[in-house]
Structure 1
């Protein structure tokens, strides 16, 4: 088992991360912690050399450097490659987190349990001193509600009862075989974590968002990449009103995915293809062509359903919350 961490000038945060990993509970077996130093110039390498002999696990450190701006995806991909190389026979579990984060004591145990049900598990991310950022907490609560609504209209057997919306690389666990099969983290400047989860679902892998897997991360405003949490917090500090995608667009897509999931087992029937094609604005032949390339109903649902043709405008958080409340009420009345 390997814990893989990209780091860029994180000498101040790395001791806290390593201390938290040292306190992880359960039988961890042969645990490797792999840290990829991404063009670090703050003494991180020397610090890790000093700490390594004091740690109850094997620490492997590699240094990378490049010209140009930081690339979160490339750094995380390099960190995971280090971990994969150390797994016995290349098999096992890979966990990834961030250098400014600290997993809770039962993180590995919760991740192992989650990966019994799925190939990929995304855990909950809790901001340190999050109470100081009520607007950010409100946004997170909204997205949690939105994801729970998704699973109410498109339930899957592998989802956690305590589910959430988070898809951050600070808290992901994955089977090594699944990671290799799908090609791993892409070298994107940002968003590589959400892309991995999306690619996994499109490949037909089970992605579980499990609230029992918890990592605490910093609420700092000095981020290492553009478009990250620090940038959001800074924007909120400046009083910039958050703009959200209209939840009706997501609701349309998720209802269609539920219909596609149900129809996959009967996709050889012309009437099923015609009905689904009419719903999605696609021909029956197109529906069949996509289905033939899909290993299961998850891959089919994720691949065949396009984005909603309506509700493309961005709206305020208040508007999004009100619309979601209406969608939730409508669903409860239909399910009653």
Structure 2
């Protein structure tokens, strides 16, 4: 897909009492190499009581891009999904039903200078892009760094087992709302971010894949974010870092469950183009514990192989089996070794 050079780009950001950090975000967006592509920033001020609105109004005239501000109701409970959904709705309203690219980030984050350029390139290959998120002062959180390295390795293993043509060569595991880009048409079709207190970003990416959209995790699209412990919503990174500070030992789902699921999804993806053949349906159904008729019924409701692979494969039996981080690393190392032996 070749994107028109003049297709509008809308950056959508929810903010809750971030007056101290918003100038830094605006400076980072100002530095984007946008080449006149209609860059516009939509900021949703969620129960802000710190003078954010007055500060932003005072800065508006000096900004080299358009700015839309919306102030939400006061005295509301933090809800990351609802705030992000509202920010993206502002972007959709700005596009008035037309084409455009929606970029999502957070008020405590700083997109790299080529963030929009990298996102535009990635959106030529995919419908949704999840970029890499780097934590400022990450060195002070070695255990969290170790967890992130593990999940990066796990995602690389996924793409060895189940490769897709739209995935980035420099891929990663993360799927955070601080760094997501999406075609406006795809966002509308997916239904947007759900108003969940937390985890709205991971759910959005999962919903996109289940709908058959191409989700790309691209390490070239980078945002720096804070390592603060006073997060704005429960269940976010701040909570994770505080738990690690207090000595909580991380536990991970047994990666053998994920490995089984990804192998099954690869088989389902291959089967989709031959799903009219009864022997193909029976073989796939036996591997998943399903009847051939059930397989066909699901396939008929799917627009493509991606949607079929995401919907037909059940959660792995090991999904609820939790192991220590060290044990998960050892199991993944064995899985990688086995894959190398098969590939050789």
* 1:310 counterpart residue number: 318
Residue 169 (1) aligns with residue 177 (2) = yes
Q: TM-score, normalised by structure 1?
A: 0.98
Which blocks of at least 5 consecutive residues in structure 1 are unaligned?
Answer: none
SS in 2 for 1:144: helix
| CA distance, structure 2, for counterparts of residue 276 and residue 67 of structure 1 | 52
2:42 corresponds to 1:31 = no
Q: Residue 123 of structure 2 aligns to a residue in which SS?
A: helix
The TM-score normalised by the length of structure 2 is 0.96
Runs (5+) with no aligned partner, structure 2 = 1-8
- 1:246-299 residue CA offsets vs partner (Å, 9 max, x unmatched): 101100100000000000011111111111111111111110000000000000
Residue 21 of structure 2 corresponds to 13
Distance 2:250 2:333 in 1: 18
Distance 1:121 1:311, change over 3 A: closer
Residue equivalent to 1:141:
149
- 1:77 equivalent to 2:85? Answer yes
Q: Which residue of 2 aligns with 1:185?
A: 193
Corresponding residue to 1:223 among 207, 215, 231: 231
Deviation at 1:69, TM superposition (A): 1.9
Equivalent of residue 101 in structure 1, options 109, 114, 136: 109
* Other structure's SS at 2:197 match: coil
CA RMSD of aligned residues (A): 1.0
| Deviation >6 Å, runs of 4+ | none
The size of the alignment, in residue pairs, is 336
Q: Corresponding residue for 1:115?
A: 123
Deviation of the 1:177 alpha carbon: 0.3
* Range with greater deviation from structure 2 (284-293 or 80-89): 80-89
CA drift at 1:26: 3.9
Hey, what does 1:269 align to over in structure 2? 277
Equivalent residues of 2:254, 2:318 under 8 A apart: no
Report the secondary structure of 1:90's partner residue.
Answer: coil
Q: Which residue of 2 aligns with 1:280?
A: 288
Q: Deviations over 1:36-55 (max 9, x none)?
A: 01111111111111111111
Of 125, 131, 136 in structure 1, the residue corresponding to residue 139 of structure 2 is 131
Question: 311, 314, 328: which is aligned to 1:320?
Answer: 328
Alpha-carbon distance in structure 2 between the residues aligned to 1:70 and 1:94: 23
Deviation at 1:89, TM superposition (A): 5.1
1:254 aligns with 2:257: no
Specify which of 3, 12, 15 is matched with residue 11 of structure 2: 3
Mapped partners of 1:75, 1:68: distance in 2: 11
- Measure, in 1, the Cα distance between the counterparts of 2:261 and 2:30: 43
CA distance in 1, matches of 2:295, 2:74: 44
Deviation at 1:172, TM superposition (A): 0.3
Aligned counterparts of 1:311 and 1:195: Cα–Cα separation in 2: 17
Q: Structure 1: how far apart are the matches of 2:66 and 2:318?
A: 52
CA distance in 1, matches of 2:33, 2:158: 33
- 1:131 positional shift: 1.2
Q: 1:271 to 1:315 in 2, by over 3 A?
A: same
- Report deviation, 1:87: 2.0
Is the aligned partner of 1:232 residue 2:240?
yes
Q: Secondary structure at the match of 2:132?
A: strand
Q: Structure 1 residues 284 and 87 mapped into 2: Cα distance closer, same or farther (>3 Å)?
A: same
